[in-house]
Structure 1
């Protein structure tokens, strides 16, 4: 209460409350159980919350805090495999049949529907009728029990004037010293207990890490609360979201949501709240999302039915939140707030009889309030349709504020934001983050340096250089990295690769014959760094600065020195003469061992064996240029690496024939684009496309705008050409 009073004194904003008595509106079912309480915490601090609850409520030696249990149930594939094992049906045959089931949530009836159209499933049903009969009673039964990921229950201290513990409400078991109910989270409601979903959210931990970094480096004095109370109106924040710079912003980083924000051009927190509530499959399908965009952009004037302006004016006449529905039911139909909440529940759960009773009450209340009958009918239709997909504003608001804080940190402290983003990112996210960072900030990622880099991404804020993580280098584990960092801290910077080897291997100056020579157990324990680690550090560029090399091709000389110190020679087959002077070769080696490296794709294209096929016909383009809006409709030639290939089948609408297309994910350093290979092109080049992942290609394609991603992609056309390159091709053709 003290905290609440202080906050009220700070804000001094009067709040008008209307009809706060919800009655039994929030109570569910015959037992009248309360709604769940959902609170999100930083993922790295959730355990602290649980420990606090136990310390706070497990007083006087009583056990009042426990976790809810959860059960996994028997699904079709698992049931069939288990029952077939009893009847000794051949395992290979069972695996073959269950592989046909695309949906593991199929019911017993669905199995027979599939058997009616699939001869192999039909034969299995006919051959093993007893198996089919026995699985019927097992499907949906509990298979295994575990601990609910978030639900924590705190019981009252007293029940019926007697002191109680958790054992008086539900059967309890102990799992790894944690008290867990035998009842699952859904069944806890029936005991009359309140379920608290304490969720650990990684994004909150990331945001707090960025805030801590800003305060440490810039002495910014930022807190999450201050940002929320700061007006939520920072122009730079909304500008970067409108431009599509949404990577690593909570809830906003997907391709579809990014396009939605670019179309919306948000300018206030209400827009972000609406975005969280509107960008969902059901609202997209209903047309509400597009209607909101049209009204916000001024393309269409919002229309308000009788009495709906107060509820819908903030969303341009579009029904977005459950609270709006309850408000319309109150102001138009004369409902209480509790009745409005019940209305939402009845429609969402499709309780036809109760909905019908509510409709009569609504129409009667609307007539008494003076609402025209035709408007009342349309409003009721809006309510019935909306209840199927509406999101609650309280949830959307919490998410929108979290998104705003993340975007604010990106807009105002980009180097700190991207440092933390890179530290938390998985390998697939790294190129997208680095590509965006180059476009909207002065920060840049540089190769690892043996005297600067740390286990995680380390930033020099004086130059805005983010040094690549030593932990991201292939085969270097935590122990090896920590050993190197400890030696650097103890003995000072390494002066050369020879100095590095002498200091790191001082306990085992063993002479190797090759990179992959094994170490005995005693040596490995004492020194967790081996020859392969040294090679990968060199290829990653860790010794470029200390060795004063000016080009990546000079890394061969560093390798040669390291090999001499370690006692073996470099094999010519690993580093052929025609490749060791090629920039491309060493960049590819760097990318292979650590994921970072700059390849000169234009140079590869110019010196490729197929260059003459495109000369004078199409202009060469980079991925970044192809992504530019002005490039739409142009036919280009592109050289890039294929990072992913996916085949998609579809049914031709005209002929009914089954056809295939192929999507290639192309990468030029940190820039990414998709190439759609249409059926004719895919059939013609299927042999090459089948094994194309991780290869460099040269392809001609047309740039087209993609409505889903909100950006350009590449498409093959009738005379498109595709050539696959390998290291031998590039080495032999480059000058």
Structure 2
């Protein structure tokens, strides 16, 4: 359904006549698609988006559909256990020359001598062992059902047939062993091909029509999937997310294909539901584009003649049915950036004036509690508000660091790095100062090798405008700062840590050391 939705958008907005069949039959040699996958940009690509298989794809560096079919078949628990994936990568890169057993070249030439698919060991049994087609299928079923006595009989028949075809008896034994092992894990090639073609189709659309691909991906995504999707989109395409616009956005993501801008959906704004958005869009269709914040309020609230005491002042049931828009909706839409374009707001701090004007129209003024005077001129405060109500927004973390007390204290101890820089291979082992929002804090335990006791540590998920990184607070540091660390969720922090490559994560992570410094900014 997702692929069909993307193809429908492409056909409608770019004048194409694409189908899944056409892409997977006529467009399988698109270098851009294989580069996109090889670079690890696999979000929302069928069967290829988990961190483990993404790392495997990056190791393989696929260049053709056969590579994708093999990747799909090989990345399974049993093949991982026996090291077939590692062997495939070494052969694929040319680090080791593949060895083909007697009579097995034709069957295994596409997979460097490794038996990956059921069809391969069945082909070897047929051509080398002399099994007829019925007996070959019998072999497949016998392996699947693990019938030892039946397998012993088939083994004798296979070795006799292979030797009769000129294969040395010791090598016939070796081939039979490979058939037995492969039979336990091998995947049906036709299934792997079907999955790989579906994956290729999604990757092709992402590589060639990113704005259409990401429009659908974002529309279907859970809130927790959106940051990584947006980070990938910025990394590998010209498509860009822009804040919702009161004159262009609606119940779904709206894309301007001329500029590759994807306008945030109004329904992704906190507490703004479909009925509210439909009412706003209906009035927009009826009376034309909104011209400013006052014009919006006068038109939307024309039947609702009451004045509010504050944003959260409740409506009665009858009012809510007549006009499913309330003061809180207006506040959240202003914070999300919906009025930036029509009000020509050049900076996020200008949303404060928009809130004041809206509050005046609705009968009240801004409270010091929700909008402290000392925060009203700070960019990051308004960006945080935008992120909190909509999930979109950009914080200038470098500016926060430059204006902080922490800058003087960390000087000479650790270099300031972005999370993008933390992820680079050459920075493994460096001490870094980072400024980021803590989006999650989780506690874990591990068994101490010396004492055997369980020790506690914490993992912080750090975010810089959709770029995510993990910071591990080891036991000594965590126990010393336990209360503070447990309170960090949704706070902006500056901390010093060492960059270490994590085999578990397959990427660089941050790790505290005994004298790591931590500063809370908000």
Name the TM-score class by shorter chain: over 0.9
Counterpart check, 1:388 vs 2:157: no
Residue 444 of structure 1 corresponds to 240
Counterpart check, 1:217 vs 2:13: yes
Separation (CA, whole Å) in 2 of partners of 1:231 and 1:642: 43
Q: 1:505-558: per-residue Cα shift (whole Å, max 9, x none)?
A: 111121111111121111111111111101101111111121222221121111
Structure 1 position 709, deviation (Å): 4.3
Counterpart check, 1:690 vs 2:481: no
Structure 1 position 720, deviation (Å): 2.3
Residue 392 of structure 2 corresponds to 596
Counterpart check, 1:477 vs 2:311: no
Separation (CA, whole Å) in 2 of partners of 1:377 and 1:683: 58
Counterpart check, 1:228 vs 2:228: no
Structure 1 position 614, deviation (Å): 0.4
Residue 467 of structure 1 corresponds to 263
Structure 1 position 725, deviation (Å): 3.3
Q: Indicate which of 439, 454, 458 corresponds to 1:662.
A: 458
Separation (CA, whole Å) in 1 of partners of 2:75 and 2:438: 31
Separation (CA, whole Å) in 2 of partners of 1:387 and 1:653: 39
Q: Which runs of 5+ in 2 are unaligned?
A: none
Structure 1 residues 602-611 or 513-522, which shifts more?
A: 602-611
Q: Indicate which of 260, 264, 267 corresponds to 2:60.
A: 264
Structure 1 position 608, deviation (Å): 2.9
In 2, are the aligned partners of 1:258 and 1:710 still within 8 Å (CA)?
no
Separation (CA, whole Å) in 2 of partners of 1:344 and 1:714: 48
For residue 184 of structure 2, give the secondary structure of its aligned residue in structure 1. Answer: coil
Residue 98 of structure 2 corresponds to 302
Residue 428 of structure 1 corresponds to 224
Residue 253 of structure 1 corresponds to 49
Separation (CA, whole Å) in 1 of partners of 2:254 and 2:95: 47
For residue 693 of structure 1, give the secondary structure of its aligned residue in structure 2. Answer: coil
Relative to 1, partners in 2 of residues 1:595 and 1:518: Cα closer, same or farther, differing over 3 Å? same
Structure 1 position 439, deviation (Å): 1.6
Structure 1 position 485, deviation (Å): 0.7
Separation (CA, whole Å) in 2 of partners of 1:659 and 1:575: 41
Structure 1 position 711, deviation (Å): 3.0
Residue 566 of structure 1 corresponds to 362
In 2, are the aligned partners of 1:632 and 1:704 still within 8 Å (CA)?
yes
Separation (CA, whole Å) in 2 of partners of 1:674 and 1:241: 23
Structure 1 position 334, deviation (Å): 1.6
Q: Indicate which of 228, 245, 251 corresponds to 1:455.
A: 251
Separation (CA, whole Å) in 2 of partners of 1:677 and 1:351: 51
Q: Indicate which of 206, 211, 214 corresponds to 1:418.
A: 214
Separation (CA, whole Å) in 1 of partners of 2:29 and 2:488: 48
Counterparts of 1:327-726 in structure 2, within 5 Å, are 327-726=123-522
In 2, are the aligned partners of 1:512 and 1:568 still within 8 Å (CA)?
yes
Relative to 1, partners in 2 of residues 1:708 and 1:340: Cα closer, same or farther, differing over 3 Å? farther
Q: 1:122-167: per-residue Cα shift (whole Å, max 9, x none)?
A: xxxxxxxxxxxxxxxxxxxxxxxxxxxxxxxxxxxxxxxxxxxxxx
Relative to 1, partners in 2 of residues 1:341 and 1:716: Cα closer, same or farther, differing over 3 Å? farther
Q: 1:553-612: per-residue Cα shift (whole Å, max 9, x none)?
A: 121111111111112222222111111111111111111100111111122222334333
In 2, are the aligned partners of 1:651 and 1:659 still within 8 Å (CA)?
yes
Separation (CA, whole Å) in 1 of partners of 2:216 and 2:22: 21
Separation (CA, whole Å) in 2 of partners of 1:346 and 1:676: 48
Q: Indicate which of 114, 135, 138 corresponds to 1:318.
A: 114
Relative to 1, partners in 2 of residues 1:529 and 1:231: Cα closer, same or farther, differing over 3 Å? closer
Residue 77 of structure 2 corresponds to 281
For residue 493 of structure 1, give the secondary structure of its aligned residue in structure 2. Answer: coil
Relative to 1, partners in 2 of residues 1:506 and 1:716: Cα closer, same or farther, differing over 3 Å? same
In 2, are the aligned partners of 1:640 and 1:698 still within 8 Å (CA)?
yes
TM-score (norm 1): 0.69
In 2, are the aligned partners of 1:641 and 1:667 still within 8 Å (CA)?
yes
Q: Which has the larger radius of gyration?
A: 1
RMSD: 1.6
Q: 1:53-72: per-residue Cα shift (whole Å, max 9, x none)?
A: xxxxxxxxxxxxxxxxxxxx
Relative to 1, partners in 2 of residues 1:226 and 1:634: Cα closer, same or farther, differing over 3 Å? same
Structure 1 position 677, deviation (Å): 2.3
Separation (CA, whole Å) in 1 of partners of 2:442 and 2:179: 42
Q: 1:55-99: per-residue Cα shift (whole Å, max 9, x none)?
A: xxxxxxxxxxxxxxxxxxxxxxxxxxxxxxxxxxxxxxxxxxxxx
Residue 243 of structure 1 corresponds to 39
Q: 1:237-281: per-residue Cα shift (whole Å, max 9, x none)?
A: 111111111111111111111111111110110000000011112
TM-score (norm 2): 0.97
Structure 1 position 303, deviation (Å): 0.8
**Greater than 6 Å deviation, 4+ residue runs:** none
Q: How many residues align?
A: 522
In 2, are the aligned partners of 1:259 and 1:708 still within 8 Å (CA)?
no
Structure 1 position 680, deviation (Å): 2.5
For residue 96 of structure 2, give the secondary structure of its aligned residue in structure 1. Answer: coil
Counterparts of 1:107-126 in structure 2, within 5 Å, are none
Relative to 1, partners in 2 of residues 1:363 and 1:715: Cα closer, same or farther, differing over 3 Å? same
For residue 519 of structure 1, give the secondary structure of its aligned residue in structure 2. Answer: coil
In 2, are the aligned partners of 1:437 and 1:444 still within 8 Å (CA)?
yes
